Structure 1
């Protein structure tokens, strides 16, 4: 096995790669273990990323960030980390085989959006065409004055509808028949002009006029559909080590991105906060600087 790293970053999305750039430029040995499933890869074009007023695709942004990290000496490991154990050196990460040993570990494992019942091919095409979107904060501007549907359950979905109402007057909330909705929420939706349709959404298809979906006996067409079905939080590695998690499963960290396990840090969407690229990058900068300073406190970093 190679020498013990100063830091192993698990997750090659915006948070992980930002931290890699910082740590490499701190003259520390750092590697990023990336299984290629960053949620940012699914972004067809983001217009929220500062410095790219005409937008940039998620894949292109990640490629730029990888090149940036490599330029300053970071290493990339194309592997999925399935297990993380405390070792004499700090931590050992394992996949199908031993991946790396490191004095510290930064978890930037992110989350995965829960999808509606839609084929992989249709899902990918709908994302590319902007017919299916997951983040109103990211791209609400792009649906200005469009006919928009939100698929979800309960208050969370209504909150997303309310947010989108500031971009368009045409909002439909699609919820399952047995999904409970408080009377005050129904009144709130009506007051905002949000239509409520009950039924299970299925049979998604793309057409020249938008995205088609069947709800009960109705065939409906929208310009854009937002699933508001929550996310799967990838905090299993932290949980297995006994790190503190929130009730939802996010990794708890202090103001410097330290977890409750010494030498283990976390940044990005796997931590409670605004699920945005800019926010993930900011947390990563804090985490990387904390890692550098914590390592220096244990043993001076000298040239």
Structure 2
């Protein structure tokens, strides 16, 4: 991810230059090259986020860290950019510090935020000629929000002290896939087509076949390169699924995926059973609890 660049144009009416989108047609050879590619990319954000940030920029003196955080927390792309920027500025001895979007913005300050984050490129610009990929990405974003919602509910029920970071880990769980939609939409849609043709195929195997990597490995690699907080990196790593906090994230993500198209997925009873163990509650109570979490507020 390229470093944030200040918006040096004093005229807010001047549109930002929009570079032609980069769409990879062939996979890169390995994890290191994929990570290098995304570390250099200027990651786009959601159009709604970009527009709202520009509106806030016009009234910067009336904006506080809480207002910014409320907006950024709804956009996984902007969340990544803020966390990566603040982590890069953090001293080595602070590497274990827990960071959320709000704490990062408080640390940075509102005025420096607007200086260092100019007009943002958008996902809609990046995928202007890829409507099917944009639609699939929007569905993935909706699923990420539901995963974050489930993870928060589980963590609150468990009395976990790291609710905000658990929510963040669930929200960002699929961000490597989101990046692939933006920069390799043809390849990502190829994975989707294979899954649709044969739902029994494991996603990780398809990813390795199409991208030459496991996207979970890419997520962890980027988090470490961006020097995300130690806690966020650790609880995002599904390879340590025995830890209750990691389990909290895994089960929230799994439940969101399995209920994406309704509550009749054959895998759901197993999900409920495992969530019951996590929450130390009977399956019947757990099912009612997750239904309640999923209701719009």
Q: TM-score range by the shorter chain?
A: under 0.3
Q: TM-score, normalised by structure 1?
A: 0.27
Q: Which has the higher strand share?
A: 1
**Max radius of gyration: which structure?**
1
If asked which structure has higher relative contact order (CA below 8 Å, sep 6+), I would say 2
More helix by share: 2
